[in-house]
Amino acid sequence: MTEVFAEINEKQFDGMSSMQREFVSTGIQKLDDLLSGGLQKGFTTLISAIPGTNIEIFTKQLATADDPVYITTDETKDEIIDTMQSFSWDTDHILFEDIAQKHLDHVRRGEAKRISIHQQRSRTKIKELIEQGSQGIPAQHTGEDDYLAVLSHHFRDNASKKIIVNGLDFFLDRYRTNDVLQTVKAGKINAAEQRGVLILILTRGIFGTQIERNLESVADCILELDVVRKGTSFERLLSVKKIRNYAKKIGTARYDITDQGLILENIERIL
């Protein structure tokens, strides 16, 4: 297919300093071209996708450039590394915060405890259980880590880096919406001040329009991944929905997933 990409129009950057025009790579050269240079330093980028878009592969591909901090929630570090190595992508430069593994370990400990209690109750008479309970044995702390605080610490301590949060669904499922939004806003401020790049992944259509709009209002750049039916087949589309202070040449590109990862094909429309 004929490949058509937006050219950088320097006139659109009039009044902006050279520092404001600094970019880091997405890890996908043609996407960098579509974004007129890549992900702008100091920007928070929201990437929302529906199921079936292969967002999980796209997110890993974003981690192939610029020594990112990768915060896992859906897949463990080992699972991510296995997938990236299957695409021959280097993983040695990535700093992982493996929340997915920590949560998995917590779930396993909880399940083991439930099984143990059930086995104990099946072997012990009720009278004996009452006697054991009256001995005043201190209760053990079984609470899970405050993962939102972990996220907040990374937003503060690694604000000058490229941070990938995959994904926000995990935090929105477990914490109050306002607390998650405040943490995201703090991350945005830190990234802007330290000239870092913050990338947030969200599954679209799960948490309601209002939450999505609130996150979009925080984001400086918004990318959307969709799958649409065209005849008897399906097409995957990547849309650049918003780039702050850059109103022109925002478009939608078809993409495919190959053994090299996500490959952009051509721009469908220019807005």
CA dist 22 → 38, 49, 185, 191 (Å): 9, 26, 22, 13
Per-residue pLDDT of the chain in tens (271 residues, 90 and over written 9): 434 433 333 333 344 444 456 999 999 988 998 888 899 999 999 999 999 999 999 999 999 999 999 999 999 999 999 999 999 999 999 999 999 999 999 988 876 666 655 556 555 555 565 555 544 444 333 578 999 999 999 999 999 999 999 999 999 999 999 999 999 999 999 999 999 999 999 999 999 999 999 999 999 999 999 999 888 888 999 999 999 987 665 788 999 999 999 999 876 655 4
Give the start-to-end residue ranges of the domains of the chain: 10-131+144-270
Task: Look up the pTM and report it.
Answer: 0.82
d(CA 142, CA 144): 7
For the domain made up of 10-131+144-270, give the CATH fold. Answer: Rossmann fold (3.40.50)
Q: How many CB atoms lie within 10 A of CB 51?
A: 11
Question: Residue 218 is encoded by which pair of tokens?
Answer: 């925080």
What are the pLDDT digits (tens) for 66-114? 999 999 999 999 999 999 999 999 999 999 999 999 999 998 887 666 6
DSSP 39-87: EETT-EEEEEE-TTS-HHHHHHHHTTSS--EEEESSS-HHHHHHHHHHT
d(CA 141, CA 102): 16
What are the pLDDT digits (tens) for 245-255? 876 657 889 99
Task: Please name the amino acid found at residue 132.
Answer: Q
DSSP 213-233: HHHHHH-SEEEEEEEEEETTE
Count Cα neighbours of 47 within 13 Å in the Cβ-side half-sphere: 24
